[in-house]
Structures are given as C-alpha cells and as structure tokens.
Structure 1
Amino acid sequence: MNIEESVHTFIKHTQMGIEGQHIVIAVSGGPDSMALLHFLYKERQKYNIRITAAHINHQLRGDESDQDEHLVRAYCEQAGIAFISQRVDVKRYAQEQRIGSSLAARELRYSQLERILDKVKGGYLAVAHHGDDQIETVLMKLVRSANALQKPGMEAVRPFHQAILIRPFLSLSKVDIVAYCEENRIPYRIDSSNASSAYTRNRFREVILPFVTEENPNIHMHVQRYQEWLSEDQDFLNGLAEEAMKQVVLDKREQIVTISIDLFLSVALPLQRRMIHLILNYLYKKSARITSVHIEQTLTMLGANNPSATLELADGLKVNREYNRCHFVRNEQNELNQITKELKVPGKVFHSLGEVSASSVSQEEPVGPHEVLLDLDSVQMPLSVRVTLPGDRINALGMDGTKKLNRLFIDRKLPKSLRSEWPIVTDANGCIIWVPYLQRSRIAVVTEKTKNIVKLTFLRN
C-alpha cells in the first residue's frame, strides 16, 4: 500500500467525514504540514472539499520564521489555494502568563486557528501530526502524566471550537512523509529549534524514538492501534461509570457532590476510579488538576473503617467522609452563610440548607423535630438566624449548665460537612434559642401561663 492509499484507508477507518467540508489546514512550512497541504489539495475533488491554508508566525526564529511564512504563501499562490497568515508574540505572552515558550506558542497558535475557522466558516481543522508524533506523545504521557485515566495519545478525530480537528497522517511515519515530499517535489523548510534539547519532545525524538523504531519499523502502526483500542475501552468504561453514578450520587450541586459509600463500594474498582474522576472533573470544571494520586487517596479513605475523615485536594477541594456518606466540596466556605438574618414574626429566612420560618399560633400543639414552640413574651426580640461560631454554647433544655454546639453536633451525629452551615436561631442578646432537629434551649419554654405562642419551623432543601 502506497502512502496516499494508506491515508485514504485511515480517513475511512477513523470516519473523519470530511466529504463536502471546508477544511482549514494548519501549515507551518515543515515537511509534515506541507505534505498534508499537498495531499488534501490533490484529493480535493475526490472528497469534494474546499481548503484554506492557515500559517501562524510565532516570530521566535527571526528571519527563519519569516522565510517559513514566505514559503507557504508562495506555494499557495502558485497552486491557487486560499491563504491566511497571522503573527503572534510568543515571548511576550509567555512572560505575561508565566509559562514556557512551547506552551505559549501552542495556546496562541490554536487561539488564532479558532479565529480563522470562524472567519472562513470552516467546519474542519486539519493538523499534520503523524505516527512518530503519536509514539512520542504516548511515551511522554507514560513517563510524565499524573493522571492514568487520560487518553493515552492523540485522537484522530475530536471536537475543536465550533469545528472538528482531524489528524489524517497518524498512519504515516516521518520517513514516509519525507519520502512523499521528495517524490512529489513538495518544498519545505526545517525548523532549527527541532534540534534543541531544551524541549522535552525533542529529547524523546532524538534519544528514544530511534531506539524503538530500530526495534520495530512499524511501531507507529502498533502505537496507533494501542491509542485507538485503549481510547475506546476508556469511553466504554466511562459510560458504565456514568450509569453507576446515577445510583451512587445522593446530592449534586454546583460546588458539592454527595455519594453513598456503601453503593460506591459495591461497584467494580475500575468504575470506582472513573466515578471519582467524573466527580472531580465536574467540580474542577476541567481535568487538568486531577491526578492518579487524588483518586488513590480518595479510594483509600472510602475503603477504610474510619467513620469520619477529611482529605484536602488541590485548589480548595475537600473530600469529607461521614459514616455512610462522602461529600466532595469545592470552596465550601460560602460568605453568604456568615450573614446573620433577622427572623420576623410572622416571617421567613432562606438559608443555604433550607428555610426557617416563624408564625403565631393560638394554642400549644404537638411539634416534630423540625419545629419548636416559644413563649413570645419571654423572648428578647428580634430573633435571628445564623450559622455556628467558635465557642457557641446552648442552655440545653433538660440538662444543667450549657453545652458546646461542637459536642452537640458530635453526639447527635450531624455530618461534619453540615456543621459549619447548620442554622441556629438566637434572640436579641445572641443567646441560642434553637438548633433545629437537635436541641432547644431552656429560654422561652411554653407554660400554662403563656399567652402568645410562636412556632419556628425548619424545612430542609
């Protein structure tokens, strides 16, 4: 099978679906991208495609960068290919963002390609990554990646911005591509920075790639198959994990996810790992902060016998275990919870965990754990609703002296994640009147002499 047949077969195998599309091709001027530009231009009628060449000048190599741009422009003008170029200041962006020049170049390059796609209304972005690049990527991830649940390499087809990103050359080796350029007299330039050992990828390319390709010249085909099969397995297992999550998750909000530990542990271990990954990804909004260590630490905590434990992960995310529940909480300290709100009679206060209301009743009546009756004439008004503060104590009904709320929460087994948010009702002097569901005070107890009764109610969300 020749090079062109190999690419056609790969396009069909990966279901790229490029027929009838407008494809923007990222062209640097190197042999890989120039070969891709030539191939798609030559096969434009076969696939009924329109093409636009996009060149991003990183301005990192002075006159060399300008010569790259000139080469691509001249080739496109001679062939009648639509051409767009953009210049970016990688050095300044890297300094502003405090990142390496390689990452800065990548971010600027793809942001400009997004704009070009929008400008020409392109549906596809084609990039010239090939089989050797795939080998390097897979090996680099194995050596450096902190997250074992990431895809092992580059995908041949994936969403990008409002379009689809494709890599038609992943079935080819670098040797194949250079031979294709020589055979078809395709001009190209060599980026001198590719020889620099300052870049990690270059070290893999210069040291490891020659060894593995000498051992097996077709390793790029095996690695590509490994990437495809393992990615499909990952997608399948992630789908099962998402289904299992529906039974395991008890509560899911913007910054908190609560799961049943018993139900979680009843699921197979590979799905447990992926469920934790899904939860963390949901709370972090991206997977960049998730590591295999996070997942292992969480699994260890959930499998232990301790009824309560806390695990602190990156960027303010905490995992709190309380009996049979586990709470994954992001930025749990909500400033709104610290506000003291006045509770009028009649009236309502909306709290993070529910609603506290006060109403007048004509006579004493039975109440549940979410309600309490007060002698209105014995209360220092106004009433207020707030969260607990350090040192809070209550004159608990039925016992002498006072009791610390911390001790009360522990004795009543209130989950630790709720203790900082749990509402309490106080009088005008700051004395605690009622801790819903848990304890009322000796203050303002209704007696036979009570004339005005107020009922307080707490309704959980």
Structure 2
Amino acid sequence: MKNPKILCLPADMNDKKYIQKGFAKTIAKTIAKTITDFGMLENKDTILVAVSGGPDSVALVLALLALKEKYTIKIGVAHLNHMLRGEESLRDATFVKELAHKLSLPFHEGQKNVTIYAKKHRLSVEEAGREARYRFFELIAKNHGYTKIALGHNKDDNAELVLMNLLRGAGPKGLSGIPPIRGGRYIRPLIRVSKNQVLDFLKLKKQTYVFDSSNQNMIYLRNKIRHELFPHLQSEYNPEIVDALDRLSNILRQEEAFWDSETKIQFNRCLIKTEDSLLTFSKTLMSNLHPALLNRVLRKAIKTVKKDLKRISLAHINDIVDFCFNKPSGFSLDLPGQIRVYKDKDIITIKKEDETLREIGKKEKQLRQMAKKK
C-alpha cells in the first residue's frame, strides 16, 4: 500500500511570517467566534468528527482538540470508506486510523460500496456518497453517545455551492449555501475559514494529509467550478469572489430564517384540517397571501405530506397556483411522488395518495364510464 501523499511542506515554527501576522491566533479566533456565534458547542459535548483524511477534516480535528479543555469536550474520529478509489481509498482509511491513534482519539471505521448503493437507489454517485456518509455518522453517534457531528466544510466550499446552485437556477434557499449548524447536531466550525488558511494552518502545525484524486475529475460540476470557473472569475472579474459569495449566502441565510418563521405563521393560519398524509387549507386566506409567501406555504405543505421536495420544482408550484386560483375548471392536479392537489369552492387539499396516480386515474375513468351508461 502506498504512503499517503503529503501535500504540505513543514513550516518553521519560528517563521517571522507567522509570528508577525499572528496567523495561528487569527485562525483560532475565527473558529472560536464561529462556534460562539452559532452556539455550536456546549460544555461536556461529545463530538464525532468526520475525517476523510483531506486537509479540511484534518485541520478540523486539530482545531477542536485545541478547544478541548475550554469546552470540556470529548472527541472521536469517524471515517467511511466509499470503496470508489481502490487502493487510494484503503490508503485514506489507514491514514485516518493512524492519525486518530497518534492523537489518542477513539476511531470509528466503516465501508460502503457507494457505486452499488447509487444504482440500487437510482442516485448519482455524489448523492449516494453523501447519503451513505450521513447514515454512517448517525449510526455511530447513536451507538456511542455522540451529541454533535462535526464536518470540515470551509468558506470556499460554501462559495462553490452558492455558485453551483446559481448556475442551476436555485432560489434564495439554495443560494444561502451551507448552514453552519443544522438540526442543532451537525456543526461546521471551519465555515468562515478559507481553504488557503486551512492549508497554512496545517503547514504551521507540520501536519500531513492525503489527496483525493477524484477532486480533480472534471466530470463533477463542483470540480469544474473549483478548478476552472473560480480561477477565471478571480483573475478577470473579482479577486475576492469567494468572500463576495460568502457574504451573499450569509445575507440570504438570515432572510431565509425570517421567511421560514413567517411561512410557519401563515401556514398555520390558513390550515383548516390535518389528517394522515392530508392537509386542508382555506382557499380564501391563501388567495390573500403575497405570491412569494404563497409559494413558500405550498412548498411547506407538500414537504409535510411528501416528507421531502424531491422532483418538486418551481414549475410545479406555479401549476398549483394557476390551477387553484386562475382556472375555474378541473377537480385535481397530479404532482410527482403520488401527490394530488384537490380544489373546491372554499378549500384546497394536498394529499399523498396510497395508490399510484395512474391507478387512481384508471379507477376514476371507469367510474365516469359507468356513470354514463346509467
């Protein structure tokens, strides 16, 4: 097995560059402020750190270890082998295991054939890998009592996601980027730290890491953005493009928090009845909502009965609005995921049907034919 490829050069701890700039202190303050601002840690938290072996996750472990005494926290390391890169994947797992041992931290290892998982669940390899990782982290956290799960996303990752979602035509939620904390459980202490700062931090600590060759594969949109589009934007348009996109995401994240609160209020105000997989709303109250708020209430309603918003696009939301408020004809509207919208004079019902909509349609057609014969 090959040794992990070292990408960082040892730095002299007495290097004037680092002493003059107080680099280590700057990074520590940034991370500490991020943790405080978002309430990421509490005393006696037990943190499961997701470590791939790359620079971000390795830096994350070191940063959290530096805060271990301040917060009286316990730390464990988790690594999932995706079985995508053969010997390189085994090399990564070995590196992370040795790092955990060197730092005297508990190590939790797993493996999942992501290629097979992707085919089975009809997902892209990226989607399958993400789903497999989160399932693995949740299982380890549950079995070993970890209260938080720390991920190594940095400021550049956030900016890349914002730009990628912009190119895909995402709305404000997509442009709000990577949340620093999610569900009170997943935390990202490095989210305000740039990639260059991460690399310099590791250089200062004389800490090695491994290189994931798939990060150079241009078949993935994220890699094309990272290696082609971002350098072009930085050189030709705005050298601070990462900071600009990061600011945009922070602004939109704050506004999304407000909209989420307002949507919940109007959702409950318009709601008439709740049953299993069925919601009934006042058509009159919904018709008086601002279009932006109406769209959000409809999305929340669909997510409530469907459990997610997969395959539900803005076009579907527009179809619902047009069907419910602009077209006098029609009794129901079919959406992906066995979702059907019914309208009456005074109410709108959104339901997840038990049967496929095709089967329901056949039965309705048969009933109409029988009615005509009578």
**Is the contact made by 1:172 and 1:220 (CA closer than 8 Å) also made in structure 2?**
no
Secondary structure at the counterpart of residue 29 of structure 1: coil
Q: Does 1:187 align with 2:205?
A: no
Give 1:193 shift. Answer: 1.0
Give CA-to-partner distance per residue, 1:81-103, whole Å, 9 cap, x none.
Answer: 22222122222222333332222
Mapped partners of 1:50, 1:218: distance in 2? 37
Higher deviation after alignment, 206-215 or 74-83? 206-215
List gaps (5 residues or longer) in structure 2: 1-24, 361-365
Mapped partners of 1:190, 1:197: distance in 2? 16
Given residue 19 of structure 1, which amino acid in structure 2 is its aligned partner? N
Mapped partners of 2:244, 2:37: distance in 1? 15
**1:48 maps to which of 52, 72, 79:** 72
Partner of 1:114: 138
Partner of 1:292: 314
**Is the contact made by 1:30 and 1:188 (CA closer than 8 Å) also made in structure 2?**
yes
**Is the contact made by 1:141 and 1:152 (CA closer than 8 Å) also made in structure 2?**
no
**Is the contact made by 1:123 and 1:164 (CA closer than 8 Å) also made in structure 2?**
yes
Partner of 1:15: 39
Q: Does 1:104 align with 2:128?
A: yes
**2:191 maps to which of 170, 174, 187:** 170
Given residue 197 of structure 2, which amino acid in structure 1 is its aligned partner? D
Give CA-to-partner distance per residue, 1:415-439, whole Å, 9 cap, x none.
Answer: xxxxxxxxxxxxxxxxxxxxxxxxx
Higher deviation after alignment, 194-203 or 38-47? 38-47
**1:139 maps to which of 140, 144, 163:** 163
Give 1:293 shift. Answer: 1.2
Give 1:246 shift. Answer: 3.0
Q: Identify if the C-alpha distance between structure 1 residues 250 and 82 changes in structure 2 by more than 3 Å, giving closer, same or farther.
A: closer
**1:240 maps to which of 253, 262, 267:** 262
Q: Does 1:326 align with 2:364?
A: no
Give 1:229 shift. Answer: 2.9
**1:35 maps to which of 56, 59, 65:** 59
Partner of 1:79: 103
The correspondence of residues 374-453 of structure 1 with structure 2, limited to 5 A, is 390-392=369-371
Give 1:244 shift. Answer: 2.0
Partner of 1:270: 292
TM-score (normalizing by structure 1): 0.68
Q: Identify if the C-alpha distance between structure 1 residues 218 and 81 changes in structure 2 by more than 3 Å, giving closer, same or farther.
A: farther
Mapped partners of 2:241, 2:30: distance in 1? 15
**Is the contact made by 1:261 and 1:325 (CA closer than 8 Å) also made in structure 2?**
yes
**Is the contact made by 1:147 and 1:292 (CA closer than 8 Å) also made in structure 2?**
no
Equivalent pairs counted in the alignment come to: 341
Give 1:308 shift. Answer: 4.5
**Is the contact made by 1:213 and 1:219 (CA closer than 8 Å) also made in structure 2?**
yes
Q: Identity across aligned pairs (percent)?
A: 27
Secondary structure at the counterpart of residue 337 of structure 2: helix
Give 1:278 shift. Answer: 1.4
Give 1:119 shift. Answer: 2.5
Partner of 2:8: none
Q: Identify if the C-alpha distance between structure 1 residues 148 and 310 changes in structure 2 by more than 3 Å, giving closer, same or farther.
A: farther
Q: Identify if the C-alpha distance between structure 1 residues 332 and 31 changes in structure 2 by more than 3 Å, giving closer, same or farther.
A: closer
Q: Identify if the C-alpha distance between structure 1 residues 66 and 17 changes in structure 2 by more than 3 Å, giving closer, same or farther.
A: same
Give 1:305 shift. Answer: 5.5
Give 1:332 shift. Answer: 7.3
More strand by share: 1
Q: Identify if the C-alpha distance between structure 1 residues 45 and 323 changes in structure 2 by more than 3 Å, giving closer, same or farther.
A: same
Secondary structure at the counterpart of residue 218 of structure 2: coil
Mapped partners of 1:111, 1:49: distance in 2? 23
Partner of 2:3: none
**1:69 maps to which of 58, 71, 93:** 93
Mapped partners of 1:310, 1:109: distance in 2? 39
Mapped partners of 2:341, 2:191: distance in 1? 41
Mapped partners of 1:218, 1:28: distance in 2? 28
Mapped partners of 1:196, 1:247: distance in 2? 49
Give CA-to-partner distance per residue, 1:182-209, whole Å, 9 cap, x none.
Answer: 1111110111111001112111111222
Mapped partners of 1:305, 1:198: distance in 2? 44
Give 1:41 shift. Answer: 1.5
* Higher relative contact order structure (alpha carbons within 8 Å, sequence separation ≥ 6): 2
Give CA-to-partner distance per residue, 1:254-306, whole Å, 9 cap, x none.
Answer: 23333232221212222211111111111212122322111122222333152
TM-score (normalizing by structure 2): 0.82
Q: Identify if the C-alpha distance between structure 1 residues 24 and 255 changes in structure 2 by more than 3 Å, giving closer, same or farther.
A: closer
Alpha-carbon RMSD? 2.7
Partner of 2:226: 205
The correspondence of residues 221-240 of structure 1 with structure 2, limited to 5 A, is 221-240=243-262
Secondary structure at the counterpart of residue 239 of structure 1: helix
Q: Identify if the C-alpha distance between structure 1 residues 43 and 327 changes in structure 2 by more than 3 Å, giving closer, same or farther.
A: closer
Higher deviation after alignment, 247-256 or 177-186? 247-256
**Is the contact made by 1:147 and 1:290 (CA closer than 8 Å) also made in structure 2?**
no
Give 1:45 shift. Answer: 1.2
**2:148 maps to which of 94, 117, 124:** 124
Secondary structure at the counterpart of residue 391 of structure 1: helix
